[in-house]
Every structure is written in C-alpha cells, then in structure tokens.
Amino acid sequence: MSNFTATFHVDGSMDCKSLQLGILMIGSEKSPVVKGEVITDSQRHPFWALDRLAVMIHCYVVAARKLYEDPEPLQVNLGGVLVSGSTNTILVVRSMTWHTTQAIRTLAGQLMNELIADDPQQNKERKVK
C-alpha cells in the first residue's frame, strides 16, 4: 500500500484581522499555534501553523498592526500539507515567504528576538548547545 501526502503552494494575501494565537498542548509540552486566513482572488483559505513558524507569523502581523493603523493584507507565499478530516480540509503551513516592506521585516525580527529571549525553554536550549 502506498502512502501519499497532499501538498499545497498558495500565493495570496494574509488577512491580518483573521489571525488567532494560542497554545497547543501535546502531552506536557506546549507549542505555539496560529490560525488565520489567506485570500486568493475571491476565495479565503483557513490555515494553521505551529512552533517557530507560528511565532514568526504572529510577529509579522503584530508588526503590520503597529506600523499601520488598518494594515492591508500582507502578501505571502505559503507551502505545506493538507490535512483532511471527515468534514473539511485545512492547510498546515510548513514554509512562508513574505512580500512586504523592510519596516515590517525589521520590526517583526525585533519582536521575534524579544519573544525568544523571554522564553525560558529557548534560553535553556541555547545554553545547552
């Protein structure tokens, strides 16, 4: 029996207002997770991202919101896998390329560094390496 994984590649706009941040519990481990929507032409596609990618997406959206009163959707290129359930299919993002301003990139990078510096688990892992 063959094992297949459906992948996707989407060019579109991230709806900054749709982003939700949370924590996913896997046993005793915690992982950041985001849920949002990407817009392609007239269609909206929900997506999920985990771990460091979730933190990056969150920081880019926060940066856009801080720099612009009502930010336009951010242009993105998403890649990942499709996960299907009995009633729907979701996009789980594995990679994301941003097509945005240097100001948003710089502020997002600063926000990511602050979050990582505040995370005791990340600091512990850095000291061990």
CATH of the domain at 44: 2.40.50.140
Q: pLDDT tens string for the chain (129 positions)?
A: 556 678 899 999 999 899 999 999 988 888 899 999 999 988 999 999 999 999 999 999 999 999 988 777 789 999 999 988 888 888 999 999 999 999 999 999 999 999 877 665 554 444 433
101 phi/psi in degrees, rounded to 5: -80, 160
Please indicate, yes or no, if residue 2 is contained in any of the structural domains: no
Please indicate, yes or no, if residue 28 is contained in any of the structural domains: yes
pTM attached to this predicted model: 0.82
State both tokens at 63.
């940066």
Query: What pLDDT shows up at residue 119?
Result: 61
Overall number of domains in the chain: 1
Please indicate, yes or no, if residue 48 is contained in any of the structural domains: yes
Please indicate, yes or no, if residue 92 is contained in any of the structural domains: yes
Tell me how far CA of residue 109 lies from CA of 37, 44, 46, 62, 68, in angstroms: 22, 27, 25, 11, 17
Query: What pLDDT shows up at residue 120?
Result: 55
Query: What pLDDT shows up at residue 85?
Result: 81
Please indicate, yes or no, if residue 1 is contained in any of the structural domains: no
Please indicate, yes or no, if residue 55 is contained in any of the structural domains: yes
Domain that includes residue 15, residue range: 7-128
Q: How far apart are CA 39 and CA 91, in angstroms?
A: 13
Please indicate, yes or no, if residue 112 is contained in any of the structural domains: yes
Alpha helices in the chain (DSSP H): 51-67, 102-118, 120-128
